[in-house]
Amino acid sequence: MNSQYFPRTAVVLFALLAFIFFIFSPAQAFAQGAGVGIVPAVIDPAKQFEPGDVAQFSIRVTNLTDGDMTYYLYKRDIVGVRDQGIPIFADSSSGTTGYELSDWITLPSDSIFIEAGKEIEVPFTMTVPQDVSPGAHFGSIAVTAEPPKLRESGAGIGYEVANIITIRIAGDAVDQARIRQFSTSKYIYGSTNVEFSARIENEGNTLISPTGPLEVINMFGERVAILTFNESKAGIFPKTSRSDGLRDFKVTWADESPGFGRYEAILSAVYGPEGKMNTISSTVTFWILPMNIITPALIVLGVLFLVIYVSVKMYVRRSMAVATSGVTRRLVRSRRQNEFPTLLVLISMLALGALFFIILLLIFA
């Protein structure tokens, strides 16, 4: 037997066994199969509640794994919102914001058992306290596969999904917002592919979802596009110790037709409860100068100016030559009088042609 054959075979077998162990290890299989869904993702009733009201809601929890699972339910408060509308959940170090509601929620059980691929409905009760402050209050029901002991010790797998619950309390609720910034990514574009950015500040004590039209108007006052601002109706959390009450939005205008000249964009967004809608608006201007139009125009103008320059220069040289040739002053004056109107007509025609060409570009571009 070859002395080198056995070591090579051993290495290959060891690598194969390691690969099989990695693929079929319990941790790796669990990570691939872990999953849970919760519906609805947002509970935001239009009704305004009074202190002492009791309401019934429910969520549907789905086991997305290929095995039977026990899930655990937790009530959580929301203390702010990150970029892209991702909520910030309260933890042990979070201070109170005055917008909490997790203590209002009563769950039927702290855990639920769901068979593989199945879905169950979980009802819960919302009891509004008597001393609640007016405005919007925010909380959540989280679903996780972590048992309570592992969650408290920090040794869990860290898998969790949660919804967002918003309850409005009647009273002196303040729905107020303003557009801090409305702009385009550039001032001059080469085509009709424009990105708008808006930063809106929530100055009230309720969750707002501003939405509305974004109109684009060309230099002739014609409306060339109507876009929908905040089509997903993403919300802006009020100001708290963990939230600055600001949110950035982006809208893109993409059109296949060519554009040219100065444009104005008008943003008009509405927010607030039904019957008490408020409006905020802002405008921004920008230019579209496509090079496939600008470049030929500049070339034509350059040629026209070059022709004018050469013509004037030739006229001056000819006049100087006539003046110094010893011909009589009367003859020189006569030639100048005959040549000057012709040159003036030529220059005027070239200038008018250039102006006409520019007007055509502006109208038909």
Q: Are 89 and 78 in contact (CB under 8 A)?
A: yes
Q: Does the pLDDT of residue 219 top 80, yes or no? A: yes
How many whole angstroms separate alpha carbon 99 and alpha carbon 111? 26
For the segment 116-137, what is each residue's pLDDT rounded down to a tens digit?
999 999 999 999 999 888 888 9
d(CA 356, CA 363): 11
Least confident range of 172-176, 260-264, 328-332: 328-332
**Do 117 and 149 have their domain in common?**
yes
Range of the domain at 311: 292-364
Amino acid at the residue 326: G
11 domain-assigned: no
- Specify whether the CB–CB gap between 249 and 202 falls below 8 A: no
**More confident call, 357 vs 337:** 357
Helix (H, G, I), strand (E, B) or coil at 312: helix
CATH number at 49 reads: 2.60.40.10
For residues 217 and 119, state if they share a domain: no
The stretch 332-342 carries a mean pLDDT of: 52
Give the number of residues written for the chain: 365
Q: Is the model's pLDDT at 156 over the cut of 60?
A: no
Q: Residue 326 falls within a domain, yes or no?
A: yes
Domain count, the chain: 3
Q: Tell me how far apart the alpha carbons of residues 105 and 90 are, in angstroms, rounded to a whole number.
A: 16
Residue 14 lies in a domain: no
Pure H helices in the chain: 5-24, 26-33, 148-153, 291-323, 329-364
Structure confidence at residue 75 (pLDDT): 92
Closest CA to 58 of 99, 103, 108: 108
User: Is 300 among the domain residues?
Assistant: yes
Residues 252 and 307 in one domain: no
- Cα separation, 116 vs 131, in Å, equals 43
With beta carbons less than 8 A apart as the criterion, state whether 190 and 291 touch: yes
Last residue of a domain, one of 151, 169, 187: 169
- The amino acid that residue 86 corresponds to is I
- Within-domain flag for 47: yes
At 238, the pLDDT band (50, 70, 90 cuts) reads: confident
